[in-house]
Amino acid sequence: MSEEKCCVITCDLPLDQNYWDNQYQANATGWDLGQVSPPIKTYIDTIENKDAKILIPGCGNTYEAEYLLQLGFTNVTVIDIAPTLVENLKQKFANNKNIIVVLGDFFEHQGNYDYIIEQTFFCALPPPMRQKYTWKMHQLLSDYGKLIGLLFNREFEISPPFGGSLKEYEQLFQKAFVFNAISLAGNSIPLRANTELFFEFQKNDHNQVTLYHFEGITCSGCMNTVSNKFLEIDGVLNVSMNSNFLEIIIVSKTEIELKKLQEIVSYDENYKIIKSK
């Protein structure tokens, strides 16, 4: 693998089920390492409970799941949106009762997991979906469950993959998770050396993470004003709005009444906030 890229036709295509299925049909999986990423393998080796419930979203060819099964783990779930890939995985693991292969949208998935493994799923999502990602991960983890894996600490000229930075991740995930670790991975494959952050985030069970749809904001200045007003509410710990100003997560000690949030932004008649389900 010489480049980190996905696109086989054009990067202007919607990153939907058809897009990702086309990548697998064309065998255009430039992100595929052909092995478990070394930092993730090292972490898996430390998990003692072989019955832990483990989810791998956007699983791809899921070498991580193979490795988990080899070590004797008994409760592994993998999910991907690409039908061609999922059919191949179902055939591959047909005789193994310790893994569940799901075709579906991660954001509609329901479950409760002790560990969720992040490996090139976050970077495949358009950046405006990152707030929703944070909210959904918090939902799916069990009490004090852990989200672990790798995030890119760089940008890309062609996307996907979409890059990011340590500063961005710290702002995005703070207060929803306890940062047990986040630092430059020391044993990445050579192609990704010094560009990956290994992280272990533990669900902060004491805090509420609520996702809202927001209407009316058209610029970053207005976004900052609204975010700061919400941060002034007693009990609010973190506010993060996505890059197209349409979704916002609020991390708080207890869930804030929707009526109160709407009252705070009522100074602009165009602003409307709606709780996501």
pLDDT digits over 71-111, tens only?
A: 999 999 999 999 999 999 999 999 999 999 999 999 999 99
Q: How far is CA 98 from CA 31, 65, 75, 135, 172, in A?
A: 26, 10, 5, 27, 33
Three-state DSSP class for residue 85: helix
Residue (of 147, 151, 150) closest to 139 by Cα position: 147
Question: In the chain, what is the greatest distance between 2 CA atoms, to the nearest angstrom?
Answer: 60
Instruction: Identify the pLDDT of residue 235.
Output: 98
Integer Cα distance of 240 and 167 in angstroms: 13
What is the C-alpha to C-alpha distance for residues 38 and 186, in angstroms, rounded to an integer? 9
pLDDT tens series, the chain, 277 aa: 345 544 443 445 689 999 999 999 998 888 889 999 999 999 999 999 999 999 999 999 999 999 999 999 999 999 999 999 999 999 999 999 999 999 999 999 999 999 999 999 999 999 999 999 999 999 999 999 999 999 999 999 999 999 999 999 999 999 999 999 999 999 999 999 999 999 999 999 999 999 999 999 999 999 999 999 999 999 999 999 999 999 999 999 999 999 999 999 999 999 999 999 8
Report H helices in 199-271: 220-231, 258-264
What does pTM read for this prediction? 0.94
- pLDDT by residue (tens digit) across 144-167? 999 999 999 999 999 999 999 999
Buried b (16+ CB within 10 A) or exposed e, 126-158: ebebbbbbbbbbbebbeeebbbbbbbbbeeeee
DSSP β-ladder status, 76-80 and 113-118: unpaired
Contact 170, 182 (CB under 8 A): yes
All residues at 6 or more sequence positions from 230 whose CB lies less than 8 Å from its CB, including other chains = 236, 239, 248, 250, 256, 261, 264
